[in-house]
């Protein structure tokens, strides 16, 4: 039984990483040893589970089915084991969080520091991106996203107030370019884009004025995959930026930036921390959720 579980865990790691090299490093074995383990599992199953090429590893139909069948069960086992350990030794284990860089800096990190000092056996892994991450498939314990991006089968709790998006530019830039009085005027401006990993698309600028809503797909000289670089480029006078209002509010107060189309700024229901409803959460995950909630007074 122990060998079977080790083999299944090895296969799941390769399936998740899509690489024997990365999976072997994660498990702590040699690549050749890991390859033998997976081949033996395939021999036991009587079907190939992986398609290997010199450049990539992908799942066969049988492999996809095996992942879908066993991964949730092994996750449940890990959660139960962690819960049992926590009941006798205190909260332990690794909690993996996916969020954006802005939320990692402004929400997650400020709220978990005292928790980590209080419980040194809790380990935290924070990964940032702007994609619609599948936290079950990618083995995250907690996701933090806007309410509209949270799947209905998740348990979600609010951790931040409503988010308003804003358009900004430097006074110097705006003096040299045509006035922006309506959303369509953005099309003749140098706009700084945010690239999303989901479908490799650019973030459309969503705008709202009363009951009127529109999306503008802007163009410009610069594209980044994080808001910090976009803000820096905007401050440098390289164009207009579409950013969270509270992120650039101090820049506007200091007259480094100006609001553009202020009556069109849209507001969204705030950020939520979410996790799978079917999975029993470990005590460590529960404590992290509590810490994230505690910092929100809404």
Distance, CA of 123 to chain centre: 18
pLDDT at 189: 97
| Average pLDDT estimate for 254-281 | 90
pLDDT at 151: 85
pLDDT at 223: 97
Distance CA 164, CA 271 (A): 12
Query: What are the backbone angles phi and psi of residue 223, rounded to the nearest 5°?
Result: -135, 135
Distance CA 184, CA 186 (A): 5
DSSP 73-99: HHHHHHHHHHHHHHHHH-S-EEEEEEE
Q: Is the pLDDT of residue 86 over 60?
A: no
Please write the tens of the pLDDT for every residue from 27-54: 888 989 999 999 999 998 899 999 888 7
**The domain made up of 163-268 is a member of CATH 3.90.650.10:** no
Distance CA 102, CA 80 (A): 33
Please write the tens of the pLDDT for every residue from 117-152: 999 999 999 999 888 888 887 889 999 999 888 988
Chain mean pLDDT for the chain:
90
Distance CA 48, CA 46 (A): 7
Q: Is the pLDDT of residue 115 over 90?
A: yes
Model confidence at 70, pLDDT cuts 50, 70, 90, reads: confident
Q: Is the pLDDT of residue 198 over 80?
A: no
pLDDT at 247: 97
pLDDT at 280: 61
- Structural domain boundaries in the chain: 2-82, 90-159+270-294, 163-268
Helices (H), the chain: 2-17, 20-27, 31-45, 61-89, 101-103, 109-118, 171-175, 227-235, 245-253, 283-294
Q: Could you tell me the CA-to-CA distances from 172 to 167, 192, 218, 234, 257 in Å, in that order?
A: 15, 16, 20, 11, 9
pLDDT at 173: 98
Q: 2-82 has which fold?
A: Arc Repressor Mutant, subunit A (1.10.10)
| Average pLDDT estimate for 231-244 | 98
Distance CA 298, CA 167 (A): 26
Shortest CA distance to 96 belongs to which of 138, 140, 145, 144?
Answer: 140
Model confidence at 183, pLDDT cuts 50, 70, 90, reads: very high
Which CATH architecture best describes the domain 90-159+270-294?
A: 3-Layer(aba) Sandwich (3.40)
Are both 2-82 and 90-159+270-294 of the same fold? no
| Average pLDDT estimate for 192-202 | 87
Q: Provide the sign of the torsion angle of the four alpha carbons 145, 146, 147, 150, taken in this order.
A: negative
pTM: 0.73
Element (H, E) at 156: strand 154-158
227 φ/ψ sector (left φ>0, alpha ψ -120 to 50, else beta)? alpha
HSE of 210, CA atoms in CB hemisphere, 13 A: 1
Shortest CA distance to 63 belongs to which of 75, 77, 45, 36?
Answer: 45
Model confidence at 258, pLDDT cuts 50, 70, 90, reads: very high
Q: Which residue has the tokens 């619609």?
A: 132
Q: Provide the sign of the torsion angle of the four alpha carbons 201, 202, 203, 207, taken in this order.
A: negative
């Amino acid at each position: 039984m122990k060998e079977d579980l080790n083999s299944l865990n090895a296969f799941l790691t390769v399936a998740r990483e899509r690489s024997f090299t990365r999976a072997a490093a994660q498990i702590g074995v040699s690549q050749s040893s890991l390859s033998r383990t997976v081949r033996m599992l395939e021999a036991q199953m009587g079907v190939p589970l992986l398609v290997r090429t010199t450049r990539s590893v992908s799942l066969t139909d049988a492999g996809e089915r095996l992942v879908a069948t066993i991964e949730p069960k092994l996750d449940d086992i890990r959660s139960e084991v962690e819960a049992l350990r926590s009941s006798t030794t205190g909260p332990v284990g690794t909690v993996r969080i996916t969020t954006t860089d802005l939320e990692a800096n402004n929400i997650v990190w400020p709220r978990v520091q005292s928790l980590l000092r209080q419980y040194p056996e809790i380990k935290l892994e924070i990964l940032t991106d702007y994609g619609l991450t599948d936290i079950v498939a990618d083995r995250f314990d907690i996701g933090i996203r806007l309410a509209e991006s949270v799947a209905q089968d998740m348990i979600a709790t609010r951790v931040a107030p409503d988010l308003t998006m804003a358009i900004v530019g430097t006074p110097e830039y705006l003096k040299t370019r045509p006035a922006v009085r309506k959303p369509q005027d953005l099309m003749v401006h140098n706009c700084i884009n945010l690239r999303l990993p989901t479908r490799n698309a650019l973030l459309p600028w969503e705008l709202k004025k009363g009951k009127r809503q529109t999306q503008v797909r802007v163009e410009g000289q610069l594209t980044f995959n994080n808001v910090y670089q976009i803000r820096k480029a905007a401050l440098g006078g390289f164009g207009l930026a579409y950013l969270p209002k509270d992120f650039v509010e101090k820049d506007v107060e200091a007259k480094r930036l100006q609001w553009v189309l202020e009556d069109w700024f849209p507001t969204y229901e705030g950020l939520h921390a979410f996790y799978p409803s079917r999975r029993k959460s470990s005590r460590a995950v529960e404590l992290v959720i509590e810490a994230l909630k505690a910092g929100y007074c809404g």
